[in-house]
Chains A and B, each alone.
Chain A
Amino acid sequence: MSYESPVRDLLVTGGKTYSDITVDITRPIENKPSKAWWIGFAISTVVLAVWIYATTYTMLVGIGAWGLNKTVGWAFDITNFVFWVGIGHAGTLISAVLLLFRQKWRMSINRSAEAMTIFAVICAASFIVSHMGRPWVAYWPIPLPNAFGSLWVNFNSPLVWDVFAISTYFSVSLVFWYVGLIPDIATVRDRATSAVRKFWYGFFAMGWTGSTRTWHRYEMISLILAGISTPLVLSVHSIVSMDFATSLVPGWHTTIFPPYFVAGAIFSGFGMVLTLLVIGREVLNQKHYITVEHLDAMCRVVMVTGTMVGVAYITEFFVAAYSGVEYEQYAFINRATGPYWWAYWTMMSCNLLAPQVFWLRWARTTPWFIFMMSIIVNIGMWFERFVIIVTSLHRDFIPSSWTMYTPTLTEISILIGSFGLFFFLYFLFCRYLPTINMAELKSIVLTPHAKELQEKYTNMLEKGPVKQGEKAEKGELTHGH
């Protein structure tokens, strides 16, 4: 089925056996949570409480709780929304696109990346609702039959496209993630000792038997979902970018936005995956599964996409200059030299300049450095959205309306709080679900038996080309633990 390059480095190190994998990955689920987990979870819960408070307060008193004004109608809210949607993209890219391209290194990271996608989209969706002036009618942009005559949504509005894009994205991602989890949940079920665990894991395992038939279905559905998800990687953020691109605000009205936003989304998503995994592999003791090579691969993606957005930033300037439209030109000059110059240059240095260090192999293979860089990428991408939204709005066509925007404590709390929401969910995920796809991982692990076979074939290879790996892997696959 697949051609395995014999020169490729091992994706799982440490001579792990199938049993090792099961034991290692289910350890955080089956044992009492570690101190580190408790501390992390406690902090997340506190921050989540801040989010709940600030969001509830906003909904009770009105959007006036934020620093928005007559000129700047969106700022932190939509910045956060786009930021979180963007974060989600790496998960989908890893699980869908890399699956279709048969990139097996994704197997160690796709589970947590997909979880990240789902939690990030939940965070993003919270901003869709909370940014509305009347959140209690948040369902109105959904085309529902109603008793108010010919009342319908405006299919011309990019916000309606958003509703479709985000809801599709969320449901597909959730299903994809859940389907991928079923064999692993079954493994946990089979190992469970308490009745409660047996019941719940059994419930969510949906009667998984591990028969060839279920495996076959599983693989089919994975491929189909990957096929559905792949266009979503491109479409969701393209549509999000159209919130801006289809408007006529100078600095928003830009045809380059869809590809530029997609690149930015992948960039920020990988940034976030790195943030999570650099820590996760340490804390959850998964260094053999998420190896430095994994980090290296992701850093390469970060560098490439970072450079892509950088090129987009520069292209925007060129187009503004070339267009001859004074409003457009002013918008970009104002970005770089106006009152929010610091935001612009934060964005430029974090997104374009900083990732260039990943040309160095040292930078790509040093976890603490990667972690630091991933934070910089996250900051840079948040500022990118802030720059696009706020600097374009605060000085547009009619100078009399020019204003400044300053966030309130409530907005800052909601931004920070959304991380609380995200990590709260993520910590629960680490505690209750296997963070690495055990079943898939077992297909690429080099067991002593497989190693023996591989050596044998490698010797044979010197004499002539032989199809590799079929026997070495297939024989064991159906006997999951």
Chain B
Amino acid sequence: MENNNKYWKGLEELNNDAAFAARKKNEFAEGIPLEEVLSESDGDLSSTRRDFLKYFGFSISAVALAACNTAPVKNAIPYIVKPENITPGIPNWYATTCGACASGCSILVKTREGRPVKIEGSDNANAFNKGGVCATGHASLLGLYDNERLRAPKSGNADATWDAVDKDIKGSLASAKNIRLITSTINSPTTKKAISEFTAKYQSTKTITYEAVSYNGLIEANKQAFGKAVVPSYKFDKAQVIVSFGADFLGTWISPVEFTKQWVSNRKAENKAMSRHIQFESNLSLTGSNADMRFPIRPSAEGVVLISLYNKIAALAGAPTLATAGNIELALNAIELTAKELYNAKGNSIVVSGSNNIDNQLLVAAINSMLGNIGTTIDIDNPSNQAGGDDASFETFVNDMNSGSVDAVVFYNTNPAYSYYNAEKFKTGLKKVALSISTNASTDETGELCKYQTPDNHYLESWGDAEPKAGYFALIQPTISNVFTTRQAQTSLLTWAGNTTDYYTYLKQNWVGSVVASESEFNQALHDGFIRKTTAEAKSYSNAAALVGLVNPAYSNYNNAKGKTELKLYQKVAIGDGTHANNPWLQEMPDPISKVCWDNYIAIGKVTADKYKLKDGDVANVKVGNVTIEKLPVLVQPGQANDTVSIAVGYGHSKGKVAVSGKNVYSFANFSNGSFGYMSTDVTIEKASGDYELAQTQTHHTIEGRNLLREASLAEYIKDPKAGNHFHTHIVSLWEEYDYKGHKWGMAIDMNACTGCGACVVSCNAENNVPVVGRKEVIRGREMHWIRIDRYFSFKDSKGEVTTKEKELAKKGDDVNYENVRVTYQPMMCQHCGHAPCESVCPVLATVHSSEGLNQMAYNRCVGTRYCANNCPYKVRRFNWFKYRSNDEYDFNMNNDLGRMVINPDVTVRSRGVMEKCSFCVQRIQAGKLKAKIENRIMVDGDVKTACQQSCPADALVFGDMNDKNSEISKLFKNERSYVLLEEYNVQPSVTYLTKVRNVDDVIAGDHAVEHNKEEKHEEKKEEAVEHHS
């Protein structure tokens, strides 16, 4: 039956208008006609495959074209009138002599477009520094661009013209009756001549050598003992046994680069013989840290230890001994042992002391003379002119000033108002002098008080000469025209003496005839940087001084100090006596021992620190006599002798933006017994309120038992050249290795040679435009150095067990000998891994591998995720946390136009937010390649030297092509001592390390190595079957 009823759902349906009909049509889903679409053939689709390709192609090319904005073109503007000898982009090199200190190393200066940008050691094989330059030398380049240098002479506080100043000075000098010329050590023959001319004109002139850190004691002792008031020439390379009493000859003493070269030449394990180096000292010095044996002594004990050593050697030699006035306690039969070593190597040994005490130096002279070392390892006939000091005369001068008897004084390259122990007395005296002139380059503490400041040129702007060692005549030539209206001090003296010859002519006149025979010889010397003359034969001398009188004072010094805490003032490798304290590169160079930058501090041993309840980060007031210095930061320093503290001089200037850091402790020095003394037994230390964080670049000091430092004793090495170096892995790689068809660059680092001096760090800073970041940033762990020298301590307990683990040390507590530590240095830079972990993680390919094995950074591409740095197992990558140039927060050399002149134009200055790291000096590699290409030859070993390698005073770094089978680097990679760090991770570093070999009787590599050796031999037989083994 049909149902006629009509049901509707709503009125809309009943009306069924058009709108409703449309909606109704859409009410129910039609389903997606997927099957239909898939089953149909291509042609029936509304868009065809061709259409798809067309649109696809169009979109891709449209996007690509849209992205094609041209990269900006920057034009370099050429010289309109090109100066002679300057080709943009091509450096000019000048041979000259380093003027940073009196050591007078021969150097080469690289200039680009008229600007000196780098200092390197002279490549001349006859140079006494043999290509080495120290950190200070490298950094002295930046001194040229010191923004605080005086722009022009000053009369009082006002700028003046040279003519006006000269007129005034000449007038005053003419009427002066008592003139003094205070200089640092002068070893320049022509400067001496200029001074003599000045003295001839103004006859009341007396020249006094003043050194902040004086060698008066040494000179005076040699005068008394051998009749010659000289600093001898030392030959550490000839010595089989080296005994040093606090002389930091690898770091700061007399001529450290020269001595390092000598010292290291006799420390090569491959020769199967090494010198034995014994150090007695209070503070852990760079030299002490490299010694085979080191005995901590109190400064006051040096005299009695020397007497005791003298007696022991005398006993062995059958010579008369000195009477003694008591016993001394020194662990491990140190003196007995040292005496034996010295005596067995008599004639081939050397004893030196860093003391400025005449008595101690007399004893040293006597010991050397008794051992027959004078004439063999110590040359008195061809002395060194690299150090000086006439303390008594300076003392008299200060008294004379105060009594008003001096009416004119000229300061040349010296700053007593800062460095004299009684600066107030000096300043009071100076105010009484009618005419005072400072020739220092900037307004320092002394210059500030002088009536006239006649700023000297920087040595890189000057003509000059030097005779650092007898018979070694070196020339200084300008590498840039004067940056400011300065005039070199010699010209000033000559001008005031009425001689207007320009200094170049004056110099040449002085040389031709006396040093060189002709002008062409002069030019040759200028080209070479120096000329060596035949020297006198070194003769043997016997001690002529009486020693008996030394015994009682020595013993009373020793006995009086018992139970007291003693102070020793020392120089840090970077800052030295403070002359270069305004140099940010040096301030930021980590101290080799403490890794502290930017500050001096109380270095105190753990036992002593516990006694005073002091710890790292504390501050303490130190009182010596009636001088108190407040709130000196405390650093608990392993290796510091018990009951002694050491504080570095050279810090805390009142002038100089950078030099003000730290505290000036020269006021703790004294004048006694005819010499300045740098120690005291009258010390009070008390903890002060507050704290002070020191900027340390390394805050963990032990290796935690990790297999990263490999060492052996010489005996072990002779028995088995692989001693200590048996851990190697055979790793199977999943990937095919890249075939390096051309070059493959690599570096070898001899840990046995590296002394940790830090010259490479500053050299790298200069070469690679590494920014200075300042104390606060270093505290935050953000120093930018591309190369660092890791320094590790290992400690022994009372049983002689060696500990390198933090937790074990804590457990052992007082059983650990913190006074005597073993130190290992490990230079660390980008290892240029073959399988670089940094490369694979960079999202934007900003760090990639070159076909020559370099791990390269494309700064422009870096987005700054820092993933690469996290994944670097060596932690050598450095991030630009801030904009470090042209930023007032980082007001160092990169924040002023003058300071930026030091920038190496071959290396990009990095922007903030990008990662950077060692590039193996890729710009030098490129320069080497181009040179070879221009000369139409293939590259040879030695064509490329990295900045760190070039001037390493210890030749610890070797760079080269590993694909060149005959290169030194290839040989070193095959050396038995060679190992790479973290070999088991198969990152395949291009840097290899050579084990450290110590000339000690201890077992270092140990039985473990021997066992390993057996194991290895055993396994070698079935090597084919073995893939993994460790």
User: Which residue numbers of A lie inside 8 Å of B, CB to CB?
Assistant: 61-64, 67-74, 131-135, 137-138, 140-141, 144-148, 151-154, 156-160, 163, 209, 211-213, 215-217, 220, 243, 246-249, 326-327, 330, 393, 395-404
A133 touches B864 (CB 8 A): yes
B874 touches A398 (CB 8 A): yes
A74 touches B870 (CB 8 A): yes
Complex: chain B residue closest to A213, CB-CB: B29
Those 5 A-B pairs whose CB atoms lie nearest each other, nearest first = A133-B864, A133-B913, A69-B781, A64-B881, A73-B866
Other than the given A395-B700, A402-B700, 9 more pairs (CB < 8 A) read A62-B882, A74-B866, A147-B70, A151-B861, A159-B843, A327-B706, A400-B700, A400-B790, A402-B699
Closest Cβ–Cβ distance, residue A478 to chain B (whole Å): 9
Cβ contacts B670-711/A at 8 Å (1 or 0 each): 000000000000000000000000000011101111101000
Q: Given A153-B844, A159-B865, A330-B704, are A70 and B782 also a contact pair (CB < 8 Å)?
A: yes
Q: How far apart are the CA atoms of A70 and B788 in the complex, in Å? A: 12
B863 touches A71 (CB 8 A): no
Residues in A with CB closer than 8 Å to B841 are 156-159, 246-247
A70 touches B864 (CB 8 A): no
Complex: chain A residue closest to B781, CB-CB: A69
A401 touches B875 (CB 8 A): yes
Residues in A with CB closer than 8 Å to B28 are 211-213, 216
Complex: chain A residue closest to B780, CB-CB: A69
Residues in B with CB closer than 8 Å to A209 are 23, 26
Q: How far apart are the CA atoms of A397 and B69 in the complex, in Å? A: 45
B29 touches A154 (CB 8 A): no
Residues in B with CB closer than 8 Å to A151 are 845, 861
Q: How far apart are the CA atoms of A315 and B840 in the complex, in Å? A: 27
Complex: chain A residue closest to B60, CB-CB: A145
Residues in B with CB closer than 8 Å to A396 are 873, 875
Q: How far apart are the CA atoms of A355 and B8 in the complex, in Å? A: 59
Residues in A with CB closer than 8 Å to B871 are 247-249
B914 touches A145 (CB 8 A): no
Residues in A with CB closer than 8 Å to B985 are 248
- Select A211's contact among B23, B68, B708, B982, beta carbons within 8 Å: B23
Q: Any chain A CB within 8 A of the CB of B71?
A: yes
B26 touches A248 (CB 8 A): no
Residues in A with CB closer than 8 Å to B801 are none
A399 touches B703 (CB 8 A): yes
Q: Given A145-B63, A163-B843, are A67 and B780 also a contact pair (CB < 8 Å)?
A: yes
Residues in A with CB closer than 8 Å to B63 are 145
Q: Any chain A CB within 8 A of the CB of B962?
A: no
Q: Any chain A CB within 8 A of the CB of B912?
A: yes
A133 touches B866 (CB 8 A): yes
Residues in A with CB closer than 8 Å to B837 are 247-248
Residues in B with CB closer than 8 Å to A403 are 699, 781
B26 touches A211 (CB 8 A): yes
A141 touches B27 (CB 8 A): no
Q: Any chain A CB within 8 A of the CB of B739?
A: no
Number of B residues near A (Cβ < 8 Å) is: 72
Q: Any chain A CB within 8 A of the CB of B1?
A: no
Q: Any chain A CB within 8 A of the CB of B631?
A: no
Interface residues of B in 30-83 (CB under 8 A from A): 30-32, 60, 63-64, 67-71
A147 touches B67 (CB 8 A): yes
Closest Cβ–Cβ distance, residue A476 to chain B (whole Å): 15
B67 touches A132 (CB 8 A): no
Residues in B with CB closer than 8 Å to A133 are 862-866, 879-880, 912-915
Q: How far apart are the CA atoms of A401 and B32 in the complex, in Å? A: 63
30 of the cross-chain contacts (CB-CB < 8 Å) are A62-B913, A68-B879, A69-B782, A70-B877, A73-B869, A133-B865, A133-B912, A133-B915, A134-B911, A140-B863, A144-B67, A146-B67, A147-B71, A148-B71, A154-B840, A157-B842, A159-B867, A209-B26, A211-B26, A216-B29, A396-B875, A397-B873, A398-B981, A399-B792, A400-B698, A400-B788, A400-B828, A401-B700, A402-B699, A402-B700
- Select B982's contact among A160, A393, A397, beta carbons within 8 Å: A397
Q: Any chain A CB within 8 A of the CB of B599?
A: no
- Select B869's contact among A70, A153, A163, beta carbons within 8 Å: A70
Closest Cβ–Cβ distance, residue B983 to chain A (whole Å): 12
Q: How far apart are the CA atoms of A217 and B28 in the complex, in Å? A: 10
Closest Cβ–Cβ distance, residue B759 to chain A (whole Å): 19
A71 touches B700 (CB 8 A): no
B870 touches A400 (CB 8 A): no
Q: Any chain A CB within 8 A of the CB of B783?
A: yes
Cβ contacts B875-914/A at 8 Å (1 or 0 each): 1011111110000000000000000000000000001111
Interface residues of B in 468-492 (CB under 8 A from A): none
Residues in B with CB closer than 8 Å to A138 are 863
Residues in B with CB closer than 8 Å to A148 are 71
Interface residues of B in 906-955 (CB under 8 A from A): 911-915
Residues in B with CB closer than 8 Å to A215 are 29
Q: How far apart are the CA atoms of A209 and B870 in the complex, in Å? A: 55
Closest Cβ–Cβ distance, residue B306 to chain A (whole Å): 37
- Select B700's contact among A63, A153, A158, A399, beta carbons within 8 Å: A399
Complex: chain B residue closest to A137, CB-CB: B863
A73 touches B879 (CB 8 A): yes
A400 touches B843 (CB 8 A): no
A62 touches B880 (CB 8 A): yes
- Select B873's contact among A131, A398, A404, beta carbons within 8 Å: A398
Q: How far apart are the CA atoms of A140 and B792 in the complex, in Å? A: 41
Q: Which of B791, B826, B845 has the most CB of A within 10 A?
A: B845
Q: Given A63-B879, A247-B837, are A134 and B69 also a contact pair (CB < 8 Å)?
A: no
Q: How far apart are the CA atoms of A157 and B861 in the complex, in Å? A: 15
Complex: chain B residue closest to A73, CB-CB: B866
Residues in A with CB closer than 8 Å to B777 are 64
Complex: chain A residue closest to B841, CB-CB: A157
B873 touches A156 (CB 8 A): no
Q: How far apart are the CA atoms of A403 and B698 in the complex, in Å? A: 8
Complex: chain A residue closest to B912, CB-CB: A62
A399 touches B864 (CB 8 A): no
Closest Cβ–Cβ distance, residue B617 to chain A (whole Å): 13
Cβ contacts B774-789/A at 8 Å (1 or 0 each): 0001001111000010
Residues in B with CB closer than 8 Å to A163 are 843
Q: Which of A62, A71, A159, A402 has the most CB of B within 10 A?
A: A62
Q: Which of A209, A330, A401 has the most CB of B within 10 A?
A: A401
Q: How far apart are the CA atoms of A398 and B874 in the complex, in Å? A: 6
Residues in A with CB closer than 8 Å to B912 are 62, 64, 133-134
Complex: chain A residue closest to B61, CB-CB: A145
Closest Cβ–Cβ distance, residue B616 to chain A (whole Å): 13
Q: How far apart are the CA atoms of A338 and B778 in the complex, in Å? A: 23
- Select B790's contact among A64, A70, A158, A398, beta carbons within 8 Å: A398
Residues in A with CB closer than 8 Å to B842 are 154, 157, 159
- Select A212's contact among B27, B69, B864, beta carbons within 8 Å: B27
Q: Which of B68, B844, B879 has the most CB of A within 10 A?
A: B844
B874 touches A397 (CB 8 A): yes
Closest Cβ–Cβ distance, residue A253 to chain B (whole Å): 10
- Select A393's contact among B26, B70, B870, beta carbons within 8 Å: B870
Residues in B with CB closer than 8 Å to A156 are 840-841
Closest Cβ–Cβ distance, residue A340 to chain B (whole Å): 14
A152 touches B845 (CB 8 A): yes
A220 touches B30 (CB 8 A): no
Residues in B with CB closer than 8 Å to A137 are 863
B843 touches A61 (CB 8 A): no
Closest Cβ–Cβ distance, residue B230 to chain A (whole Å): 42
B867 touches A73 (CB 8 A): yes
Residues in B with CB closer than 8 Å to A72 are 781
Residues in A with CB closer than 8 Å to B780 are 67, 69
Interface residues of B in 358-406 (CB under 8 A from A): none
Complex: chain A residue closest to B848, CB-CB: A154
Q: Given A131-B865, A132-B865, are A154 and B843 also a contact pair (CB < 8 Å)?
A: yes
- Select B875's contact among A64, A71, A154, beta carbons within 8 Å: A71
B863 touches A211 (CB 8 A): no
B791 touches A400 (CB 8 A): yes
Q: Given A62-B913, A145-B64, A147-B70, are A70 and B865 also a contact pair (CB < 8 Å)?
A: no
